[in-house]
Structure 1
Amino acid sequence: MLAGLLLAGCSSNSRNGDQDTGGKPNILLINIDDLGWKDLGYMGSTYYETPNIDQLATRGMVFSEAYASAANCAPSRAALFSGMSAPRTGVYTVANSDRGDAIHRKLIPIENTIHLADSVVTVSEVLQQHGYRTAHVGKWHLGEDPKTQGFDINIAGLEAGNPSAGDLGGYFAPYNNPYLEEGPEGEYLNDRITTEALSFLKSTEGQPFFMNYAPYIVHTPIQPKQELEEKYKQKQGSQIHNNPGYGAMVETMDHNVGRILNYLKESGQFDNTLIIFTSDNGGLYRVSMQYPLRAGKGAYYEGGIRVPMIATWPGVISAGSTSDEPVTNLDFYPTFLDVAGTPRPEGKILDGTSLVPLFEGGSIEERYLVWHFPIYLQAYEPGANPDLPNPYFRTTPGSVIRKGPWKLHEYFEDGHIELYNLDTDIGEQKNLKDLYPGKVDELYRELENWRQQTNAPVPTQRNPEYQD
C-alpha cells in the first residue's frame, strides 16, 4: 500500500519536471567525508561558509539527531550500502584492528574484514536491477571497484580512503587515479569529479538515477585552494572553528554541491529527486571540534558518530521541517527501496528502518540504536584530546546502545560502564550509572540481546604484550 502511494505521488512529481522517469523518483545521496555535525552554517558555524547547503536545509527536513553507523569511514559506508550492522559484514574499521602500540592494548581485538564482500546485496544493486541508472562518484573504500556492487558508472572510486593514499596524487592533478582520466596539472579534484557527476546526470535521459556523490573532500590531507585559504586566514575564527585550510575545503565542497543542486533545478529534476545530505562520521577533532559534542572521529561519544543530515523531496517532505528522531545511515537502504517502490530482496536482513513515515510528517517506532566496535583505533597524538578516557586510543573495544535520551557505553577491557542522558547532557560529561541502576540493567539486557541476535564477537583474550 505504501509503495503504491509513493509511486502515485512520484508520478505526479515527475510530470512536473522536464524529464519523465516513468513514475520513479531519482535518488541522490550526498555523503561528505569527515564533515562534523557543527561544520555548516545552518548548524551554527559562523566561520565556515556553506550557503548552498544552508539553502538546501530550508527546502527540506533537518535531522538534529542523525548518526553514522560507525565512527570512521569504511565501516560506516559498509553498513550504509549493505543495510547491515558491522557484525553481519565483519567490517569494523579501516585496515587492521590492532591499531596503536601493542603495549597499551589489554585485549587481542577481533580481526577486521577490510572489504565489503561482493556476495552482499547492496542497495545500489537492488536499484540497478529495478531500472535505476547508477553512478558512484568519489570515495568508495569498500573494495577495488564499486562497479562490482551495483554501479553502472564509477568516477574515481577505489579502495583508498583518501586522495593521497599510496601512489595517489592528492587533491590537485595529477591524481594518479586509475578510475579518473587525468586532468591538467593543478586542477582540483572536487571540481573535476563534480563535472564528471554532472555529465552522468545529463546522460540519464529520463531514466531514474541513483547517484552516490561521495567526494573525498573534506578528509585529510588538508590541501585547499590557496586563494580560499587566504580568505579564511583573514576571517575571525572561534575556539572550535579556526582552521583556514579546512574552512577553504568546506567552502569548495559547498560550491560543488551547489553545482549539482543547480543542475537538478535547471533541468527540472529537483522536484522528482529525493536528496539526502549527510556525513560518513563525525569531524576530525584536531581539525574541527564539534562542541558541545564530546570527542570526534573514531570515538563513540557523540562527536564521533552524530552527523549533519538534510532530506529534501518536494511534494513529500515539507520545506523548513525538522526531526529530532534518532536515525542512522542504516536506515537509508530500506528508505531508498520504499521511495523507489522496490521490494526487499528475498531473505535480505536489514537492520535499519524506512524514514518515509518521517518524511511524510509521521513517526517511526521507538527503537534501540547500537554500535559495536571490538577493535582499537589509536589516537593521532597521545594525550592531545582530553575528551578521551584512554590517552592512547580514540576507541578501545566496546559497544554503545541508545534508546530515547539514554545512551550506555560498555568497554570490554575492564567492563567499564557509562550512562548518559543526552537530553540534559549532550556533551556526555556526567556518568549517571550509579544514580540509575535500573536504566543500566535495562539497556545492558537489550545490548546483550542484540549481540546474540547479530552474533557480535566480543574480545576476551588478554594481550601478552600489554604493559600496565
Structure 2
Amino acid sequence: LALYDTGQTPMSEEKADFTKLTQQFFERTATFVEENRDKPFFVLLALTAPHIPLKPNPDDLTGSAGGDYGEVVEEIDLNVGRLLARLKELGLDEDTMVAFTSDNGPWFEGSSGPFRDRKGGSAWDGGFRVPFIARQPGTLPAGQVNSAITSNLDLLPTLLAMAGKPQVSDRELDGRDISAVLKDGAESPNDEIVVFDNAKVAAVRTSRWKYVARSYYRTYDVPLDRYPLLFDMDIDPGENYSVARNFPDAAADMRARLEKARAKYEPMAAAFPPHVAPASAADHPD
C-alpha cells in the first residue's frame, strides 16, 4: 500500500492487508477532505477492489448472495455512502461533485449483463461499457438518466468547466466537456468514441452504430478487416448480429472513421515503445 499527498506527506509503503484496504482508502480520502475543507480540492480514489484477491472486510459483511465478490462490491457501496454522508456533515455536499465509474468491465468474477464479452475482450461492450454516476445536489438534477456516449477522457475538460477553470490549450485532448449532458440532459458532444486494444484501434462507436475491427478467440488476436462487423446499438446492444449488409452506407462511414482513427493514433505507438527493464547486474558482471 503506497500513499502520497503532494506537499503533505512523503511516500510510504507497507504490506497491504487486503481485508482492510478498501476501508483504508476511504478513511484516508475522508481525512484529506477534512484537511482541505476550506479550499478547492480534487481526489482521485482508485480502488483495488473488486480485483483479486477477494478479501471481504469482516467488519462490513452483508451476507451477499454474490459470495466474496458480492461482499467486496457491497463494501464499496457502504463506504461510498459513508463518504457522501461525511461530505454533508462538513457542509460540502452541494459544493462537491462526486463521479462514480470504472475503467473497464468485469474480468475474473462479476457480470457484464446483456453486453458481449468481458475485460480484455478487445472491442466488445462487455469490457468497456461501465456505469457512470455523477452527484452534486443543487447542481446536477437527481434521478436523470442519459444514454449519451461519453468516456472517462471527458472527465478532465468537464471538471475544469464545472470548476470555472480555463480549458487545456497547449495540447489536444481526446475528451470533451460533458457538463451540459450532466446538468441539462443534453446530447453528447462526442461524435464518436474510439475503442483501443492496447495500441491498436479495435472499434469505433457513434450514438447508434458500432464498427468492430479486432477480437479474441482463445489466445488469438483476430483482426477482422475482411469481415465487416457493424452493429446497431439501439436494437442490438449485445452486439450479436452484424448488419453491415443491411446498412452499407453506415458501414462505409464507420469503416472510414476507423481508418482515420488508425492513421491518427496507431503511429503514436512507435514514438512511445514499450518499456524495457534495464539489464540486471548478473547479465553484465563487468
TM class by shorter-chain length?
0.7 to 0.9
1:418 paired residue number: 229
Taking the aligned partners of 1:208 and 1:329, their CA distance within structure 2 comes to 21
2:114 aligned residue = 292
Provide the residue aligned with 1:13 in structure 2.
Answer: none
Is 1:401 the counterpart of 2:204? The answer is yes
* Unmatched runs of 5 consecutive residues or more in structure 2: 215-221, 271-286
In structure 1, stretches of 5+ residues that fail to align are 1-137, 140-144, 159-166, 173-187, 236-242, 376-396, 460-468
Q: Identity of paired residues, percent?
A: 27
How far off its partner does 1:289 sit? Answer: 1.8
TM superposition shift of 1:303: 0.9
- Asked whether the 8 Å contact 2:208–2:233 carries over to 1, the reply is yes
Q: In the alignment, which of 331, 342, 352 is matched to residue 175 of structure 2?
A: 352
User: Over residues 292-346 of structure 1, what are the superposed CA-to-partner deviations in whole Å (9 max), with x where a residue is unaligned?
Assistant: 1111111221110001111112222111111110111010010011112111343
- Aligned with residue 442 of structure 1, among 229, 237, 253: 253
Deviates further, 448-457 or 425-434:
448-457
Distance 1:345 1:157, change over 3 A: farther
Q: Distance in 1 between matches of 2:11 and 2:147?
A: 35
In the superposition, the TM-score normalised over structure 2's length comes to: 0.81
User: 1:208-267: per-residue Cα shift (whole Å, max 9, x none)?
Assistant: 1111111211111111135766823xx4xxxxxxx4000110111111111211110111
Q: How does 1:27-426 map to 2 (within 5 A)?
A: 151-152=6-7, 168-172=15-19, 188-226=20-58, 231-232=63-64, 235=65, 243-284=66-107, 286-299=108-121, 300-361=123-184, 362-365=186-189, 367-374=191-198, 398-411=201-214, 413=223, 415=225, 416-426=227-237
Whole-angstrom distance in 2 between the partners of 1:208 and 1:248: 34
Report the Cα offset of residue 282 of structure 1.
0.7
Are the counterparts in 2 of residues 372 and 456 from structure 1 also a CA contact under 8 Å? no
Give the structure, 1 or 2, with the largest relative contact order (CA under 8 Å, sep 6 or more). Answer: 1
Partner residue in 1 for 2:284:
none
Looking at structure 2, the residues matched to 155 and 312 of structure 1 have their Cα atoms a distance apart, in angstroms, of: 32
Aligned to 2:282: none
Structure 1 vs Structure 2 CA RMSD = 2.8
Distance in 1 separating the partners of 2:267 and 2:140: 36
Report the 3-state secondary structure (helix = DSSP H, G, I; strand = E; otherwise coil) of the residue aligned with 1:211.
coil
Report Cα offsets for 1:192-211 as digits up to 9, x if no partner: 22212111111114111111
What is the TM-score normalised by the length of structure 1?
0.51
1:429 aligned onto 2:240:
yes
Deviation at 1:170, TM superposition (A): 4.8
Give, in angstroms, the shift of residue 146 of structure 1: 6.8
**In 2, Cα distance between the equivalents of 1:267 and 1:350?**
34
